[in-house]
Amino acid sequence: MPTIESIKKDIHSLGYAQKEEILSYLEEVITFGAVSKEITNNIKESRFSKGKVCPHCAHEEVSRYGKYKNKQRYICKSCRKTFTDFTLSPKHNSRYDVDIWLHFAKCMINGYSIRQTADEVGINPTTAFFWRHKILDALRAFIGAGSVGGVVEVDELFFRESFKGNHKKSKASKMPRTSRNRGLKGKNSSKVKRKRGISSELVCVVCAKDRVGNIITELTCKGRMSYTHLEKLFNDRIEEDSIMCTDSLSSYKTYANKNGVSLVQIKNGKFKEGIYHIQNINALHSNLRSWIQKSKGVSTKYLANYLYWFKWLEFFKSEKRALKGKQLLIHAHSSNCNIRIKDFQGRGPVYI
């Protein structure tokens, strides 16, 4: 049987990359084992950081109300409804333990597909799909749209409108057009004429990033955006005396003039104007598009969730991978979010 000393000698003989791999593995094993015991308490502390509050009516006067299946219950003295530590959260009414949810969050961090995650965690693919979007819905409520200030780079990104999903089994959703079966090269693609350029067949995602690292990524509209969409997006979300750096689109100029915002527009063919440029936002767009493509396309009605998932990953990209699963699960349970499976059936795109 190997001893500690023999293992140390074997590690010393490894290369740098192999040592990094072993270190990452040990961090994951040790941290994951410790976190699984404490994750419930961490979620409680995060959800009720200002004291116990009723998730139904936000009343602060609550009292203990016995236990059910070893889970502490509470009762609100105002609305008289009972609740647990996980009421109105992604784990609400789930029969699976927190350890399983933590394993699921770890698979999300690793970028596994729905089927890969289901096989890894030991759940049904349909369950994995609903768990993913329950977590993302709650994460969207936790993060919020955010705000930016100082020198703010703004640009828009377009995705083709997608109705990805199994519509044959859905009674709630109907395809508004003929299915193209795998996009541009599908067998039905020749039956439907595609509109050239920026049209209503595309959805617009507006992204903003300041020099500190604050990010806004929002699904804004179908087709080309106007200055009114920018007013909705940046209402109370951009600090005074901020300077917007954009491309030459006229909508930015109209918005800036009507709202008294300083604007620097980079002319076509140029990359910067002094210290002002939009290279950071272009890099963000490149990363976002590459990350979305890993999912083989995202249905437009779920695109807002994926935008917030991407934003969360950007915020915590310097965090150790072993801790990201814990952080994701805690943040997804930090705010009240009443999500039911039937709510997914008739869902439409979530525009700003």
Give CA torsion, residues 227, 228, 229, 235, to 10 deg: 100
Is the pLDDT at 204 greater than 80, yes or no? yes
Is the pLDDT at 182 greater than 80, yes or no? no
**What does the mean pLDDT of the chain come to?**
86
SS (H, E, C) 236-270: CCECCCCEEEECCCHHHHHHHHHHCCEEEECCCCC
For the segment 283-302, the average pLDDT, to the nearest whole number, is 92
Is the pLDDT at 159 greater than 90, yes or no? yes
Burial class (CB in 10 A: 0-12, 13-18, 19+), 245: buried
Domains in the chain with CATH codes = 151-323 (3.30.420)
Is the pLDDT at 5 greater than 70, yes or no? yes
Higher per-residue confidence, 69 vs 145? 145
C-alpha to C-alpha distance for 346 and 227, rounded to whole angstroms = 30
Higher per-residue confidence, 181 vs 132? 132
Higher per-residue confidence, 191 vs 52? 52
Instruction: Count CB-CB contacts under 10 A for residue 201.
Output: 16
Highest mean pLDDT among 80-89, 162-171, 313-322: 80-89
Which residue's entry shows tokens 């994995």?
128
Higher per-residue confidence, 337 vs 300? 300
Please give the pLDDT value at position 171.
Answer: 64
For the segment 313-339, the average pLDDT, to the nearest whole number, is 87
Residues 6+ apart with CB under 8 A from 198: 158, 223, 224
β-bridge mates for residue 241, sequence order: none
Please give the pLDDT value at position 197.
Answer: 78
β-bridge mates for residue 186, sequence order: none
Is the pLDDT at 295 greater than 70, yes or no? yes
Is the pLDDT at 192 greater than 70, yes or no? no
For the segment 320-341, the average pLDDT, to the nearest whole number, is 85
Is the pLDDT at 253 greater than 60, yes or no? yes
For the segment 130-135, the average pLDDT, to the nearest whole number, is 94
Burial class (CB in 10 A: 0-12, 13-18, 19+), 209: buried
Please give the pLDDT value at position 169.
Answer: 63
Q: What is the pTM of this model?
A: 0.85
**What would the pLDDT profile of 24-70 be if each residue is shown by its tens digit?**
777 666 655 556 567 888 888 888 887 888 989 989 899 999 988 88
